[in-house]
């Protein structure tokens, strides 16, 4: 029997939990069909998480692609179908070629499995540095910090996940929510996740409370790493410092918990527990354009692309 999972029309880091909730209790070797026909919008998190989800299934899942041509076209330009063809039985028609590149996609979905992939990702994003300088009003120092952030988050996959993952970078105009453009990084893997990774730390004692949320607090807030070496764990600490300076947001989901470093412009929960389980780690970073006085008044809805 095939379990049909309805993918929400707007697929982002929060609504993806609806997908996972529908899969709770479904054996990984059972057949699953993800029905994305009515999806109209998907964030980089949504797209990379969909790929990651397929990795967690022993039986190759099926995916009914978005019916809306504009959405399917965007997914193609983001590089989604190129990877999905290897992970899903794809049902429905979709553009076989990506077509013209999308200037808002700073980095299309890119697989990350080894150190060389991180070099490639950083090199490619640096080629877009001028675009970031111009469109996001970031200064040169901020773009370097952005590349560092991207590098460190991608390295988490290489060093801790135990299997490959994906990264995507996209800009948006969040006119209603923020009144500014933002750049969003999503990095997802289906590896061992933070809790299991930290549990491999030699001689590490655990308190009474030890779960996915505690592991995320250790790693993201306290900079704890599975390595004894005190130099480890600097990556996420550095990312936090960078985001603090640029009023950015960091959100990390692993297992059944999600932790977020929440700036003033967002109202996300700092810690969400008892979420539907999902292997590995999924990181989302959002960096807003520098505010100007003219941008202080949000005016209209957030738009796709």
Write out the residues near other proteins by the rule CB under 8 A.
115-116, 118-119, 122-123, 126, 140-141, 144-145, 147-148, 151-152, 155, 158-159, 230-232, 234-235, 237-238, 241-242
How many Å apart are CA 255 and CA 192, to the nearest integer?
Answer: 9
Beta strands in 130-288 (DSSP E): 165-174, 180-189, 249-255, 257-261, 271-272, 278-288
* Rounded least distance, CB 95 to other proteins, Å: 30
> How far apart are the C-alpha atoms of 241 and 149, rounded to whole Å?
10
Between 68 and 237, name the residue whose CB sits nearer to other proteins.
237
Minimum distance from residue 149 beta carbon to other proteins (Å): 9
Q: Which residues contact 222 (CB under 8 A, 6 or more apart)?
A: none
- At 207, which helix (H) or strand (E)? none
CB 116 to other proteins: min, Å:
8
| Residue 127 or 200 with smaller CB distance to other proteins | 127
Q: How far is CA 95 from the centre of its chain?
A: 24
Indicate the residue among 17 and 117 with the shorter CB distance to other proteins. Answer: 117
Cβ–Cβ < 8 Å for 13, 262:
no
Nearest CA-CA partner of 191 in 223, 167, 160, 220: 160
Task: Specify the residue, 47 or 281, whose C-beta has the smaller distance to other proteins.
Answer: 281
Return the structure tokens found at 75: 């997914």
Nearer to other proteins, 18 or 159 (CB): 159
In 160-277, where do the E strands start and end? 165-174, 180-189, 249-255, 257-261, 271-272
Q: Which residues pair with 249 in a beta bridge?
A: 286
- Smallest distance, other proteins to C-beta of residue 147, A: 6
Query: Between residues 98 and 121, which has the closer beta carbon with respect to other proteins?
Result: 121
Entry field: residues in the chain = 305
d(CA 217, CA 33): 34
Query: Rounded to the nearest whole angstrom, what is the least distance from the CB of residue 73 to other proteins in the complex?
Result: 31
Quick check: 253 and 264 in contact, CB under 8 A?
A: no
What's the rounded Cα separation, in Å, for the pair 218 and 208?
A: 14
Closest approach of other proteins to the CB of residue 148, in Å? 5
Question: Which residue's CB is nearer to other proteins, number 77 or number 226?
Answer: 226
Nearest distance from residue 144's CB to other proteins, in Å? 4
Q: Which residues contact 60 (CB under 8 A, 6 or more apart)?
A: 54, 87, 88, 89
Residue 167 beta carbon to other proteins: minimum distance, rounded to whole angstroms: 13
**Residue with Cβ nearer other proteins (123 or 270):** 123
């Amino acid at each position: 029997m095939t379990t049909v999972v309805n993918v929400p029309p707007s697929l982002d880091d929060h609504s993806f939990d609806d997908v996972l909730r529908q899969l709770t209790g479904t054996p990984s070797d059972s057949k699953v069909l993800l029905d994305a026909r009515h999806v109209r919008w998907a964030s980089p998190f949504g797209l990379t998480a969909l790929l990651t989800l397929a990795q967690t299934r022993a039986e190759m899942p099926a995916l009914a692609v978005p019916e809306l041509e504009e959405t399917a076209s965007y997914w193609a330009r983001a590089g989604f179908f190129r990877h999905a063809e290897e992970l899903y039985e794809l049902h429905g028609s979709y553009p076989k070629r990506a077509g013209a590149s999308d200037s808002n996609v700073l980095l299309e979905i890119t697989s990350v499995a080894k150190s060389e992939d991180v070099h490639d990702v950083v090199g490619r994003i640096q080629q877009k540095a001028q675009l970031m300088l111009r469109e996001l009003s970031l200064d040169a120092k901020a773009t370097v910090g952005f590349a560092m952030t991207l590098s460190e988050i991608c390295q988490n996959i290489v060093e801790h996940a135990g299997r490959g993952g994906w990264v995507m970078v996209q800009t948006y105009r969040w006119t209603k929510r923020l009144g500014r453009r933002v750049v969003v990084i999503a990095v997802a893997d289906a590896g061992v996740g933070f809790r299991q990774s930290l549990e491999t730390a030699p001689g590490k004692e655990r308190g009474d409370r030890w779960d996915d949320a505690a592991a995320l607090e250790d790693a993201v807030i306290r900079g704890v790493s599975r390595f004894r070496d005190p130099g480890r764990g600097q990556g996420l600490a550095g990312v936090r410092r960078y985001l603090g300076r640029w009023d950015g947001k960091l959100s990390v989901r692993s297992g059944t918990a999600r932790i977020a470093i929440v700036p003033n412009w967002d109202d996300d929960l700092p810690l969400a527990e008892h979420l539907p389980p999902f292997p590995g780690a999924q990181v989302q970073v959002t960096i807003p354009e520098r505010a100007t006085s003219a941008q202080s008044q949000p005016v209209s809805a957030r738009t796709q692309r």
